[in-house]
Structure 1
Amino acid sequence: MNNRQNEYDAVIVGAGMGGMTAASLLSRDGYRVLVLEASHVPGGCSSSYYRKGFVFESGATTLIGFDDHQPLKKLEDELGITIKKEAIDPSMQVHLNGRVITRWRDREMWVKEAINHFGEAAEQRSFWKKAFYVSDVVWKVSGKNHFFPPLKKRDWFSLFKNDPRDALVLPYAASSVRETAVQSGISNHQFYRFLDEQLLISAQSRSDDTPFLFGAPALTYTNYTNYYVPGGLLNMVQQLQEYIEQRGGALNVKEKVTGISRNREDTYTIHTSKNKQYRTGLVISNIPVWNMEEVTSGSIRDYFKQEAGKYTRAWGAFTMGVVAEDVFEENMSLHHQLHLSQEDAIEGIDSGSLFVSISRKGDTDRSEEGKRVLNISAHAGTDFWFGLNGNYDRLKQKTEESILGLMREKLPGFTNAKIHMAFSATPVSWSNWVYRKKGRVGGIPQSMSRSLLDWTPNETPFGGLYLCGDTVYPGQGIPGVTLSGFNVYYRVKRKHNNRARNH
């Protein structure tokens, strides 16, 4: 272990956007950083992969976070880079009961659209006014309160630096999205169905169990600037990889961390699947809390067993990749939510909709001219798919065929599109791809039963061991995990700044 090559100022476990954010910021400050990733590409659930000449996203996904007070804009500003991206508008189209609801970015246009489809004009205006207000405050406040949830007195005192007027949103932590809509006077049951499926893809929970404090940003993300990354989200992650490597850091893929052991001198030894060991005084884990129990021991293992036990409810996903002939309309939205009726129910699928992302027309880095790449995603129960045993392959094929059938019915243009490739993945696949325990993706679902303060924090009780990613505060989504990378960075800097060497 005296070999200098195996010693790093910081080792980041997992190359998701949370870990890559923290690694980039520490690299900028002179830390010698090593990022270890079990998969063959970085990015985790915010990435892309190649298959038979085409580039697929890890899942059907949208990208925001570059507007004022949002974490990806801050990351660009802090690193002095510009992530290659293209703005898209509208953000999404929702297909519900034969109607197409367009999620316009412009707030007034969206409110008029909602009124057009759901009626109750005054009530809709009241609800969305609250949602925009709460969302804007949450982005502003979360972007400057990096020591939340508070662990020590100084963390609590730092909260008093906020504008007292922003505290007016706190009561919305105790009111669900559904309760807030009811209080606004909305009675249209189709609107509540719309809310449930929109929240499920952004907050991992439905309107009756999502606090409005979190639900407002989840519902209004289409009203901020949405982006498309040419060539796939992997290109965004690789820009951060290049930044780290240019500053003396390293990112090793296909090198799974198999053990994290604490040494007497308050340093850590990281053991990997390549039979290598790395020594560091600072470990930042970007892998889910459920996985940490498997790679730790003693009191550290006990801590993560307790933390993981808080979150027994989490989603898996049934996803598909499709390559289809490009017969779609020129200005067709790149993101679609297809609502399913009771007659459309698919065994193994637990959401009431399919979410579809389509590659941009002319993006030849993802597909050859004349073809488009589609990613489809739906929520799925992990226990169901892991418990199928001999029926797994049969049901996977049946589910895939059912989804393609519904796509032909509900996605404009897809009926006439020749399919050149189609394949699917279940939570079992996801556990093998990105090594998340039981294939749980999307983070921890929001819940009315969990306090704002009852989140796994970035800092653990063990000196030098920190956390980021979608199973710690603030939770889901690319902006959320990027914010977690900032939060862990500031905690590290407050306690370990003197550990950076001069390189």
Structure 2
Amino acid sequence: MKAKKQYDIIVAGSGMGGMTAAALLANRGLKVLVLEAAHALGGCSSSYYRKGYWFESGATTLIGFDKNHPLRYLEDQTGISIPKKEIRPSMQVRQDNKVVTQFKDMDTWIEEISRVYGQREQQKRFWTLAYDLSEVVWKVSLRNHFFPPVNWKDLVPLITQNNPKDLWILPYALRSVDDVMKDYHLDRPDFRRFVNEQLMITAQSSAKETPFLFGAAALTYTNYSNYYVPGGLINMIHEIRDFILKKGGEVKTKCAVEQINRTAKGYHVHTAESSCQAPVVLSNIPVWNMPYITSGEIKDYFTDESEEYQQAWGAFTMGVVTNDNYPKNLPLHHQLHFRDSEAPKEIDSNSIFVSFSHSKDQQRAEKGKRVLNISMHTQPDFWFIDDQKEYEKRKREVSKYIVRKLDQLLPGFHSGDIIEQFSATPYTWQNWVYRKKGRVGGIPQSMARSLTDWMPAETPFPGLFLCGDTVFPGQGIPGVALSGINASKRITRYLEQS
């Protein structure tokens, strides 16, 4: 065992939340160490290389650079410039014989959604409300770094830093997306399917279970600037890594955190090969993993918290390389809808999400070829079985089903053009990004959970902080980046007061 080394902050996990916080803290002159279990940085906000091509690890869409958005804040505070190109339109949805193109411009979007589903005036009122609410949510979220409050000190900025004019949004924390749809008589079954599937890829839940306060931002994310990172999202993570290193921090891969032990002066963090110490630890590790790397009352705390959130989604994903025989102006992101009865029992999804590499991105695939990242929701427990033959059979069946649906629904896709193909289940994800049971996407939205019933960035244990998609505000790259911003603010206050 190597000798312990002293740092100001140790960050466990290099997902976007941890990297955001590490960059902000390093920028303040603090000595930061980031430890990542995998061989590549970024967790679910990254890319991986396989058979000559670059695939995205998890997230494939990228927003958060508009006014009052977390990634804009990160760039403004640090001077980091994440390599990116805006894409328009953001996405297309294919439902039965309908094609819905999701435009950034709100007026154009309202015309498009009305063209497909009718009820123009109701659609206009619904989407205008959703966007207006989303604007306030982003603004208020970026202002309130100490939400949810954990003590009386957190209440002071909540009272003094907020505008009473923004309080109109609060009742929508108690009303579901479904409730608001009913207000506007938007009750067409096909439109309801559209909304439910949009929420599943953003809020991990349905219109009935998603509070409109969160659902508004989830539904309107395509009305903000959407970006593509040439070469893959790992280049975004590497840009942040380079900034941390420039500021004197350290970033280590293949260094899984095996134990976090509390001491009189802070924490000892143990990996297989070394031990280091710091007064502060920031965990970017999902809440479900925390009981396995802590002990005593800390372990008890995380055991209780993780048991409260056992219902979470896994993903069945595919990486596919094909010849580039697609229509010239085909958007990069697609959601393909289908009926319940069509899906195999191995999944619990009514849609497939497909993202393409850019046709001119020859870092990810040579000219004339395209990389496709494909994902569907699935129940994690279904894939954790002892029968290896049955497991492989299930993988093959779902893979065949997905390819068949792509043949049917995705313009320009022909299975005969496939050059490379592989699939991953929640079991794969557990071994790949070390998330317990392969749960990805965070904790699903629920009307039963109040605004304050979210895991905050600050734990009851002095010096131990959290970020990531199982911490407020939840899933998505902007969401986890915001959790990292909030954690950095709490850590800074803690160190100043220690």
Which bin holds the TM-score, normalised by the shorter protein? Answer: over 0.9
Is 1:188 paired with 2:188? yes
Q: Aligned letter for 2:239? A: Q
**Structure 1 position 185, deviation (Å):** 1.5
Q: 1:28 touches 1:79 (CA, 8 Å); kept in 2?
A: yes
Q: Which residue of 2 aligns with 1:365?
A: 363
Within 2, Cα distance between the matches of 1:325 and 1:241?
Answer: 34
Within 1, Cα distance between the matches of 2:229 and 2:2?
Answer: 42
**Structure 1 position 376, deviation (Å):** 0.2
**Structure 1 position 388, deviation (Å):** 6.1
Within 2, Cα distance between the matches of 1:50 and 1:498?
Answer: 44
Q: Which residue of 2 aligns with 1:329?
A: 327
Consecutive aligned runs of 4 or more in structure 1 exceeding 3 Å deviation: none
Residues 80-107 of structure 1: per-residue CA shift (max 9 Å, x gap) = 1211100001110000012110000100
Q: 2:195 touches 2:207 (CA, 8 Å); kept in 1?
A: yes
SS in 1 for 2:261: strand
Alignment length (residue pairs): 496
Q: Which residue of 1 aligns with 2:466?
A: 467
Q: Aligned letter for 2:75? A: E
Within 2, Cα distance between the matches of 1:352 and 1:106?
Answer: 27
When the two structures are superposed, what TM-score results if normalisation uses the length of structure 1?
A: 0.97
Q: How does 1:280-291 map to 2 (within 5 A)?
A: 280-291=278-289
Within 2, Cα distance between the matches of 1:350 and 1:176?
Answer: 22
Q: How does 1:414-425 map to 2 (within 5 A)?
A: 414-415=413-414, 418-425=417-424
Q: Which residue of 1 aligns with 2:342?
A: 344
**Structure 1 position 221, deviation (Å):** 0.1
Percent identity, please. Answer: 53
Q: Which residue of 2 aligns with 1:443?
A: 442
Q: Which residue of 2 aligns with 1:209?
A: 209
Q: How does 1:378-457 map to 2 (within 5 A)?
A: 378-387=376-385, 389-390=387-388, 391-415=390-414, 418-457=417-456
Q: 1:326 touches 1:417 (CA, 8 Å); kept in 2?
A: no
With over 3 angstroms needed to count, the CA separation of the structure-2 counterparts of 1:416 and 1:295, relative to structure 1, is: closer
Within 2, Cα distance between the matches of 1:56 and 1:218?
Answer: 25
Q: Aligned letter for 1:452? A: L
**Structure 1 position 497, deviation (Å):** 3.4
Q: How does 1:56-75 map to 2 (within 5 A)?
A: 56-59=55-58, 61-75=60-74
With over 3 angstroms needed to count, the CA separation of the structure-2 counterparts of 1:229 and 1:259, relative to structure 1, is: same
Within 2, Cα distance between the matches of 1:47 and 1:316?
Answer: 17
RMSD over aligned Cα, in angstroms?
A: 1.3
Residues 222-270 of structure 1: per-residue CA shift (max 9 Å, x gap) = 000000000000000000111111121111111100000011x231111
Within 2, Cα distance between the matches of 1:498 and 1:236?
Answer: 33
**Structure 1 position 417, deviation (Å):** 5.8
Q: 2:45 touches 2:59 (CA, 8 Å); kept in 1?
A: no
Q: Which residue of 2 aligns with 1:47?
A: 46
Within 2, Cα distance between the matches of 1:6 and 1:102?
Answer: 53
Greater CA drift, 392-401 or 62-71: 392-401
Within 1, Cα distance between the matches of 2:130 and 2:386?
Answer: 41
Q: How does 1:87-486 map to 2 (within 5 A)?
A: 87-160=86-159, 161-263=161-263, 265-273=264-272, 275-387=273-385, 389-390=387-388, 391-415=390-414, 418-486=417-485
Within 2, Cα distance between the matches of 1:35 and 1:249?
Answer: 8
SS in 2 for 1:115: helix
Q: Aligned letter for 2:319? A: G
Within 2, Cα distance between the matches of 1:412 and 1:199?
Answer: 24
Q: Aligned letter for 2:167? A: A
SS in 2 for 1:257: coil
When the two structures are superposed, what TM-score results if normalisation uses the length of structure 2?
A: 0.98
Greater CA drift, 116-125 or 418-427: 116-125
Within 2, Cα distance between the matches of 1:258 and 1:465?
Answer: 16
With over 3 angstroms needed to count, the CA separation of the structure-2 counterparts of 1:148 and 1:381, relative to structure 1, is: same
Residues 98-154 of structure 1: per-residue CA shift (max 9 Å, x gap) = 211000010011011111111111111111111011101000000110000011222
Q: 1:325 touches 1:417 (CA, 8 Å); kept in 2?
A: no
SS in 2 for 1:8: coil
For structure 1, which runs of at least 5 residues remain unmatched after alignment?
A: none
